[in-house]
Chain A
Amino acid sequence: MTPHYTALKAALLGSALALSSAAYAQEIKIGFNGDLSASPSAQSGQAGVLGIQAAIDDINAAGGILGRKLALVVRDDLSQPPKSIQNMSDLIDNEKVVAVLGPTNSGNALAWKHIPNQKKNPSIGCIGSATDITKPASPGAENYMYRVSMVDRAQVAGLIAYAKKNPATKNVGFLVETTGYGQGGLKDLQELAEAKGLKPVAIEKFGVNDTDMTSQLNKMKAAGVDTVLVWAQGTPIGQLVRSMEKINYFPVTLTSWSSDNASFFDTAGKTLAEKPIFMRTITEDRTPKQQQLYDRLAPKMASKSAFSFAAHCYDALMITAAAIKQAGSTEGPKMREALESLQAPVEGIMKTYNKPFSATEHEALTAADYRWTHWKDGKLVTYSDDVVKTLQPSDFAQ
């Protein structure tokens, strides 16, 4: 090899490196941190990533934001809080992402919600539904936690509103599982019921692995309960409706959205699965926009019922991009200001967002955006009856 040739090669290599690092610096990086492989909810995380990637592709095809392309950096947290915390620091400090989307599990968001606030780096949740995720650390504190997904408390508000408006409902009972999820739901149920002047005549609990809830249901029956509000995961709700069949007692059953899981459907069986009514953001009666995204992602989606998360995450990315555009910058504090005062409406998959966030409102989707759902012939379809028709957005007030 001649010295001359070596020099040429070095020059070529150097300029190639310079070019690529220039392109690298121009990219705006967005992070995703969530479970993609370790728990049953990993399918929701996978769908979320597909949605984010689709949104990034759309934005880049239209020329990017501020003349720069968007790039996605994905980190799997294996549903473990310590790993999730580590991922947050890695994404923000090492990868220099401008915002983080996710996580899959609510508990992990609660474990690291202080990090986006300390680093002034916005986090837009699009999967986990725990009420407290978007709560500020203290009233009035700067809060970088936003969400485009369901919120437990808003669902509870919906269920309470239904029970309140249903003329056939005389006695309400609460049935929850003994896990953190169930207990959190019970707290919301009790608080909102009291605020609405609804008094439960019975409150019963069951274990997440129980296979027979006939004792609890018999107590409900004895108390004259005609409407039960259930807060539990998919499998135990399945066991609950099976126990209802055993004692032939079928009150109106309003449940948390976990009844949309395949695990609920498999446990309950096709007929009994049609009993619960619950709230969800998307049913199989999709709008044209939702259908378009569904058709685009369906071949890559492992679980079709996780499509809602793809849609939420698509919209979360679109709102983030709109904030960067309005702020004219990717600095956290400027993005936060823009997120809380978005001027132009954002065209999303779920809806068109007009000023989705404000200093106090960090939820882009609220109960009015939810849809009443139930299983019908093995499909998740929109549910409607006389009570649902009379419900107004004001009934969902929390």
Chain B
Amino acid sequence: MDVYIQTLLSGLAVGGVYALIALGFSITFTTTKTLNFAQGEFISFGAFVGVTMLLLLSGLTSTVTAVPGEAASAWRYSAAVIGAGVVAGFMGILIFLLAVRPFAGKGGMNWVMSTLGFGVMLQSLGLAVWGPAPVMVPSPLGDDVLRIAGAGVRPQELLVLACAILIMVALDLVMRRSRIGKAMMAVAHSPQTASLMGINVTLVMIGAFALSSGLAGVAGVLIAPIASASLFMGMGFALKAFSGAIIGGLSNPRGCIYGGFILGVLESAVGLWQAQWREIVVFGLIILVLAFRPAGLFGRTAVDKV
């Protein structure tokens, strides 16, 4: 029994990370019909912005391979999370203006290459500033294993899970209840119509990219204490998150979140059977989903009226 609870818990912890990033994919897709393929680099970039802030706030400037535990006190860590979100969000505006907007609405797939390219630039910039070595980041909640019904979990994993759920609920409320959210959904539905209704479509799209990239930056700082910050860490997570988004349905933010969690738990469960088959099972599932439900598992069920 312990084993299954452990599998579920470990899966949810990883799934929370996937869900958070998958949400970012969904936000830009629903508003601009484009995806930010530099999302992975934004995660790594965000993690290192967070590391830099932790070091600066605690008066340490030297390059280290591990941030000392006392540097990650609750307020410093919160500040680093917010700081990384803001910096990554600003970079998101840049990527929209430089790499997406010139190609948006013109047909073709130029934005795929330009966002990928932006990611490569971001990574090279990061390598020049921070170097290739990974940096271990301590959790603000300490590192002692917590026991839940016999299964072990680290405080940071619960924090990621809690943050993921909190951010998703908040975004869901904003999207469905506020004027901004309704404007975003209107733009998603039809930019032309939204524009005729007096909605500033460009501004909404900029906002969507800022939000999506900001989420990636926040995710980077949240994952760093689990996976250690590295400029190469984002790609793997982003690919899995994108897979989760496809499984859940790119056009449905809630579906993306479910997709992320499903993927995390599935990976963990496959590990109980044959870990080396994990990727085959995951991507096999994606092919099945695309074949039978091209809009994703939750893609069609959520028809919203704006």
List residues of chain A with CB under 8 Å of any chain B CB. Answer: 38-40, 178, 204-207, 209, 211-216, 218-219, 222, 235, 242, 245-248, 262-263, 266-267, 269
Contact = CB atoms under 8 A, between A and B. Distances in A.
B109 to A, nearest CB: 28
A215 B145 contact: no
A211 B145 contact: no
B143 interface: yes
Q: Nearest 7 pairs between A and B by C-beta?
A: A215-B271, A246-B152, A266-B136, A266-B66, A205-B276, A212-B10, A215-B272
B13 to A, nearest CB: 7
A212 B145 contact: no
Interface string B237-278: 000000000000000000000000000000011111001101
B226 interface: yes
B236 A209 contact: yes
Q: How large is the interface on B (under 10, 10 to 19, 20 to 34, 35 or more residues)?
A: 20 to 34
A261 to B, nearest CB: 10
Contact of B268 (A40, A204, A215, A263): A215
B7 interface: yes
Contact of B275 (A40, A216, A222, A247): A216
A374 to B, nearest CB: 19
A231 to B, nearest CB: 14
A216 B275 CA distance: 7
A235 B226 CA distance: 12
A178 B7 CA distance: 20
Contacts of B7: 214-215, 218
Given A211-B226, A235-B134, 17 more contacts: A204-B275, A209-B227, A209-B233, A209-B236, A213-B271, A214-B10, A215-B6, A215-B268, A215-B270, A218-B6, A245-B145, A246-B10, A246-B151, A246-B154, A262-B65, A266-B228, A267-B228
Nearest to B144: A245
A212 B228 contact: no
Contacts of B10: 212, 214-215, 246
B98 interface: no
A263 B13 contact: no
A64 B13 CA distance: 62
A218 B132 contact: no
A211 B152 contact: no
A291 to B, nearest CB: 25
26 contacts: A205-B275, A209-B233, A211-B14, A211-B227, A212-B10, A214-B6, A214-B152, A214-B268, A214-B271, A215-B10, A215-B268, A215-B269, A216-B271, A218-B272, A222-B3, A245-B145, A245-B152, A246-B151, A246-B152, A247-B2, A247-B6, A247-B152, A263-B133, A263-B134, A267-B136, A269-B143
Contacts, number: 76
B82 interface: no
Interface in B133-176: 133-134, 136, 143, 145, 151-154
A235 B228 contact: yes
Contacts of A219: 272
Interface in B45-74: 65-66
Given A39-B132, A205-B275, A245-B145, A218 B228 contact: no
B133 A246 contact: no
Contacts of B6: 214-215, 218, 246-247
Nearest to B64: A266
B141 to A, nearest CB: 14
B264 to A, nearest CB: 10
Contacts of B276: 178, 205
A266 B68 CA distance: 10
A214 B276 CA distance: 14
- Which one of A38, A178, A211, A218 has the greatest number of beta carbons of chain B within 10 Å? A211
Contacts of A205: 275-276
Contacts of B227: 209, 211
B255 to A, nearest CB: 25
A249 to B, nearest CB: 10
Given A215-B272, A262-B65, A266-B65, A40 B153 contact: no
A214 to B, nearest CB: 5
B145 to A, nearest CB: 5
A206 B66 CA distance: 24
Interface string B265-306: 000111110011010000000000000000000000000000
A330 to B, nearest CB: 38
Contacts of A212: 10, 13-14, 268
A351 to B, nearest CB: 32
Contacts of B14: 211-212
A38 B275 CA distance: 31
A269 B138 CA distance: 10
Contacts of A215: 6-7, 10, 268-272, 275
Given A209-B227, A263-B65, A40 B272 contact: no
A245 B151 CA distance: 11
A205 B3 CA distance: 18
Contacts of A209: 227, 233, 236
Contacts of B233: 209
